[in-house]
Amino acid sequence: MNKELDRLKNEYKNVQIPKELDVIVGKALKNKPKKKQLYIWPTSAAAAAVLLTVTVNFSPDAARAISKIPVVKEVLEVITFNEIKEEKDHSSIDVKTPAITGLENKTLEENLNKKYVEESKKLYEKFTNSSSSQKGYLSIDSDYEKVTETPAVLSIRRTIQRTEASGYIQNQYISIDKEAQVLITLKSLFKNDEYVKVISENIKEQMKQQMKADSNKLYFITEEDMEPFTQIDPNQQFYISGDYKLVIAFDEYEVAPGYMGAVEFKIPTEVISDLLVGDRYIH
């Protein structure tokens, strides 16, 4: 085990997540290297020119440093902060940790980045615990992508896939108002809690229509199902699409059998228009 990996493990153990993170991020994020470390940097010239002069370590100090990197004003970027790739015994891990740069709201930027670091830390702990116990094969993979970027909104999806006896895919989303420099939560889009019932009924109707049109599709909505879908969580995972529509997302197995994967539903705006606070994000 090389010294660099030992250093990384020690830093993982000492990651401190600020108490105010739950206030800023909690409503939007639902919580339900052996041989080599890889550092992958952004391709944009402005960001790369700065990052070439900075040594980034996988630590809270580095996360804080990222938020202070001078970037071109109004350029909001999502970069790979760190990639951990390791194989040991019959287990493997390949986790890319995203980082957001360019937000003027540095408190939000720093806390979102620390949240990503904490998630990666937990994934790495699962990997090391599995390797040390030698109970069987475990594969952990995590990547991210910008699913939407408009002049007003940036939506990011982080995908985590764990494979043991079977696979499990979990998607986590955040949406940021680029101009107001705030995190967009599902609740913040609506006047009151009625959205939970209205969106849930629309999703169940979409499920029925899909199953009627395609016999290969199946959702857990009947009384015979062990845990039938009844309604979304008030803080259900979501993102805002490029055509300004609300998309509700579910993890694998959450509302459908595993072969359906992680599913999502685009909600027709006319169904929720009377409940929306405004039409800035959804119209």
Residue 281 placed within a domain: no
Residue 38's pLDDT is 38
- Residue 137 has what pLDDT? 81
Domain end point (choices 183, 217, 250): 183
Kindly state whether residues 136 and 263 are assigned to the same domain.
Answer: no
Q: What is the pLDDT of residue 238?
A: 97
Give the model's pLDDT for residue 131: 64
Q: Are strands 246-249 and 77-88 parallel, antiparallel or unpaired?
A: unpaired
- The confidence score (pLDDT) of residue 40 equals 33
The radius of gyration computed from the CA coordinates of the chain, to the nearest angstrom, equals 20
End-to-end CA distance of the chain: 54
For residue 91, the model assigns a pLDDT of: 86
Same domain, 14 and 97: yes
- Do 26 and 142 lie in a common domain? yes
Range of the domain at 14: 3-183
Q: Which pLDDT score, from 0 to 100, does residue 136 have?
A: 65
Spatial strand order in the sheet of 36-38: 36-38, 77-88, 91-101, 138-149, 153-163, 167-177, 182-183
Q: Are residues 15 and 146 in the same domain?
A: yes
Alpha helix positions (H), the chain: 3-13, 21-25, 45-51, 60-68, 106-133, 194-213, 269-272
CB 132 within 8 A of CB 30: no
Residue 191 CA to residue 188 CA, distance in Å, equals 8
Q: What is the pLDDT of residue 110?
A: 95
In a domain, 280, yes or no: no
Tell me the CATH number at 253: 3.90.640.20
**Co-location of 179 and 203 in the same domain:** no
Q: Average pLDDT of each block of 10 consecutive residues along the chain (283 residues)?
A: 49 46 45 36 34 37 52 71 87 93 94 94 87 73 95 95 84 94 95 97 97 96 86 96 96 93 97 96 94
Q: How many domains does the chain have?
A: 2
CATH of the domain at 168: 3.30.565.40
In a domain, 283, yes or no: no
Residues 143 and 211 in one domain: no
Strand arrangement, sheet containing 238-240: 238-240, 246-249, 264-267
Question: Which of helix, strand or coil describes residue 234?
Answer: coil
User: Does any domain span residue 244?
Assistant: yes
